[in-house]
Structure 1
Amino acid sequence: MSAAVRKEALLETALRMAREDGAGALTLARLADACGLSKPIAYQHFGTLTGLLRAMAERVGAEYEDTVRAVMAGHRETGTAPEGALRALCATYVTCTLENGALHADVCAALVAAGEPAQTVYGDDAARYCPLVAELIDADPRTAYALTVAFLGAADRLCEAVLAKRLGQDEAVTVLMRLFLLPDRS
């Protein structure tokens, strides 16, 4: 097994373990044992538990972004009307959050608990998604950034309501869309 394939297997196993037992229960020794490897091999690939947690956070975050960007690229290619593309953005983000949001939050919290600065761990998601929002609603960068911050916060809370069965997933998507479709009152 090549080093790259082994590292991928370790990372996938770590993500599965974190989903099952929480990121706080992870150790490189437990990971190595779960993969039938020696502890030094796990350390060789990630250096430290913090290195493993960083790789996990990057993987889950990249999956979110890649999914959202792929959906938006598809809508650009087909020339979908902005409202249809906006619905796709909202639906994709909600789906990703429902599937992996708790894992991402847990891994990030474990990173902060391990001593990583919160500003580094959490970054600025709004800055990453802002260009998509600006494109969809034809807004200046500052307005698009503010709406993206509102979108991300609202999406997280709406997903919590969906998980608690207080709202349906489609309802959450519709509410998110309304954030962008409110009439301009300036």
Structure 2
Amino acid sequence: MGGAGSESPVKRRRVSAATRKELLLETALRTAREEGAGSLTLARLADACGVSKPIAYQHFGSLAGLLAAMFQRVGAEYEETVMEVMAAYRETGTAADSALRALCDAYIACTLENGALHADIGAALVAAGERPGAVFADDAERYCPLVAELVGLDQRTAYALTTAFLGAADRLCEAVIAGRLRQDEAVEVLVRLFPATV
């Protein structure tokens, strides 16, 4: 008896698999930021997104699969930031010292925003059974061709310089987080570490 006061059930909107996966991933990242990556389970994530546990497994396969997708997403933000700076350098003919300053500024800003999260997800991924060497890839190896291009050094020297850059940047970010340095001071110090190379 469908009178005027009765309501029909609201039809659940169908969403694409890609949209659903993105929702799951964004929710997982938000949860990791708020409560730590170690708090995640696929069952909890599925419940938070209003989907069944098998749906979460369908998208990621396992908790390790979810964590790997999260780790890759956060890491991609670093790469995008670096590539944007390098693209501007190539397209506009920016001076190498200006490009180096832009890289220092972008890397420190990105690390302050996402560094702790990236490390936490990586640790959870190792705890889920992944080999540390497979999780924590050599970032210096990834970025050294760009450094070689920027400062005109051979690959071996560029690798050493990139390793020093990343280590110094990470320690400077720790000092900013601890309140010992301002962000702009950290950038300035990082730029001054490499004046002879540009």
TM-score (norm 2): 0.90
Aligned counterpart in structure 1 of residue 153 of structure 2, from 114, 122, 139: 139
Tell me the equivalent position of 2:3.
none
Tell me the equivalent position of 1:3.
17
Q: What is the letter of the counterpart of residue 160 of structure 1?
A: E
Tell me the equivalent position of 2:180.
166
- Residues 67-107 of structure 1: per-residue CA shift (max 9 Å, x gap): 11012201221111100000001110001100100110000
TM-score (norm 1): 0.96
Q: What is the letter of the counterpart of residue 38 of structure 1?
A: S
Tell me the equivalent position of 1:111.
125
- Residues 4-38 of structure 1: per-residue CA shift (max 9 Å, x gap): 11001100110000000000000001101110111
RMSD after superposition: 1.3
Deviation at 1:179, TM superposition (A): 2.4
CA contact (8 A) 1:72 1:88 kept: no
- Residues 50-74 of structure 1: per-residue CA shift (max 9 Å, x gap): 0000000011111110111012201
- Percent of residue pairs identical: 75
Deviation at 1:170, TM superposition (A): 1.2
Q: For residues 44 and 175 of structure 2, what CA distance do their matches in structure 1 show? A: 34
Structure 1 stretches lacking a partner, 5+ long = none
Find the residue that maps to 1:56 and give its secondary structure.
helix
Count matched residues.
Answer: 184
Tell me the equivalent position of 2:105.
91
Tell me the equivalent position of 1:179.
193
**Are 1:58 and 2:72 an aligned pair?**
yes
Matched ranges for 1:121-136 at <5 A? 121-136=135-150
- Residues 136-163 of structure 1: per-residue CA shift (max 9 Å, x gap): 2111111100010111111111001011
Q: What is the letter of the counterpart of residue 131 of structure 1?
A: P
Tell me the equivalent position of 2:96.
82
Tell me the equivalent position of 2:9.
none
Find the residue that maps to 1:120 and give its secondary structure.
helix
Aligned counterpart in structure 1 of residue 167 of structure 2, from 139, 142, 153: 153
Deviation at 1:115, TM superposition (A): 1.2
Richer in helix (by share) = 1
